[in-house]
Amino acid sequence: MGQAGGVTDLELDVLRIAHGGVAVAEHRGRVVFVADAIPGERVLARVTDDRHDRFWRAETVRVLDPSPDRVPHVWAAASVDRAPEQRAGGAEFGHIAPARQRALKGEVLRDALGRIGRLPASEVDALAPEVAAVPGRPDGTRSRTRVRLHVDRGGRVGPYAARSKRVIPVRDLPLAVEPLERLLPERARGRELDLVAAGGDAFAAGPRDRRPVIEERVGDRTFRLEALGFWQVHPAAPQVLTDAVRAAVDPALLDPDADNLDLYGGVGLLAAALAGGRDVRVTTVESDRAASGHARANLADLPRARAVEARVDAFLEAERTRRPGATVLLDPPRSGAGAEVVDAIAASRPAQIVYVACDPVALARDLGTFADRGWRAASLAAFDLFPNTHHLEAVARLVPDA
């Protein structure tokens, strides 16, 4: 961290929210990204990084004029009442009333669509949804079935401090489902500790511990997967996304006999959403060997579903074929699909594309690239599957631009 050029604390008027869970203020013409603040507040903030010409970073140390949406933090270990360097990371919106959290996430999504995606304001206005609440506690606690903690040199267990590799020992995990909190040890060996809840069971695993295969139930379907393999962390998320994908797919454009695809398919959740009950031909593509193997087994009862183990970019490059009438699903990692994959999908000319995203900036960038290739977003839904954090999930449907 750079020294603050002789400036330690600043009184700042907080202007707006930024991607990443920090707010934006200005000081003498310079942008200051300030953590643990809410737009509309006046705070005393400590500059922690002044190395950049265009912006500084700061941490709120005292709230001088609080927002009416400020609430007691859902996790005392992350509260502004603690010194900034002692605050647990991973709950950066926990001091904000849930409805305002969702409104701020919607602002970030709108900004990304226009600024990063370069979508016209009229299109952003038509698309940008409210970020919807999902089933669970109103305050967003007990909403994680998977938690990764870290272990310091003394064996103490906790999350990293925000924007740091410093372990903050904690005695509670209010964002985790209760069985995981009960597993929280004071001390552990190794560098990391994973807590996982699935199917009524919960376990803790260090780096060298055996990781069992677990089962997750979504509707009337059971999915098997590696205990630390990818799965949505919110208990309601798999069903919410299954329903959202089914709602996004235009049935008039869905050809059951077309070469439909589920890219970055994991263990087959979204392929099942597309094919289940509708006898739809679909190929799910996943690069992780274990996940692809589970997808093959999880979809075995669907006669026209198949699983392919391959990198998505390599699969599309090898196929290089048009898919008239096809529906293409994709659920890329947080970094997004990227131009190469977008180009290949667009070039195959399917009937519709359904894009599931966990990062609004990556989504906006890829939607902008699709727009350059002649595709427009026809619908967009967003869900608060990561309450008390800045993250959200979104589902967009794209069609060829008329």
* Averaged pLDDT, 389-393: 98
In 5-76, where does DSSP find H-type helix? none
* Averaged pLDDT, 208-227: 92
Q: What tokens does 134 get?
A: 């999902």
* Averaged pLDDT, 394-398: 98
Q: What is the reported pLDDT for 32? A: 97
**Lowest-confidence pick of 229-238, 313-322, 348-357:** 313-322
* Averaged pLDDT, 33-55: 94
Q: What is the reported pLDDT for 3? A: 43
Does position 151 have pLDDT exceeding 50, yes or no? yes
Residue 101 known to bind ligand: no
Q: What is the reported pLDDT for 2? A: 40
Residue 152 known to bind ligand: no
**Lowest-confidence pick of 23-27, 52-56, 284-288:** 52-56
Residue 172 known to bind ligand: no
Q: Any idea what DSSP says for residue 160?
A: B
Q: What is the pLDDT of residues 262-312, one digit of tens each?
A: 999 999 999 999 997 778 999 999 999 999 999 999 999 999 999 999 999
Does position 4 have pLDDT exceeding 50, yes or no? no
Q: Which residues of 257-280 are buried (b: 16+ CB within 10 A; e: fewer)?
A: ebbbbbbbbbbbbbbbbbbbeeeb
List the catalytic residues.
Answer: 358
The residue with greater pLDDT, 355 or 7, is: 355
Query: Sign of dihedral through CA atoms 8, 14, 18, 22?
Result: positive
* Averaged pLDDT, 368-394: 97
Give which of 92, 174, 80 is closest to 136, Cα–Cα: 174
Ordered structural domains, the chain, with CATH:
1-69 (2.40.50.140), 102-136+217-400 (3.40.50.150), 146-212 (no CATH)
* Averaged pLDDT, 214-225: 95
Average pLDDT over the chain reads: 95
Provide CB contacts within 8 A for 358, sequence distance 6+: 334, 391, 392, 393, 394
For residues 391 and 20, give the distance between their C-alpha atoms in angstroms, rounded to a whole number. 8
**Global pTM?**
0.94
Residue 26 known to bind ligand: no
Q: What is the reported pLDDT for 7? A: 54
**Lowest-confidence pick of 73-87, 146-160, 276-290:** 276-290
* Cβ 104 vs Cβ 39: under 8 Å: yes
* Averaged pLDDT, 87-95: 97
Q: What is the reported pLDDT for 6? A: 54
In 116-185, where does DSSP find H-type helix? 121-127, 178-183
Q: What is the reported pLDDT for 276? A: 78
In a 13 Å sphere around the CA of 215, the CA atoms on its Cβ side amount to 9
For residues 94 and 38, give the distance between their C-alpha atoms in angstroms, rounded to a whole number. 11
Helix (H, G, I), strand (E, B) or coil at 28: coil
CA 366 to chain centre: 16
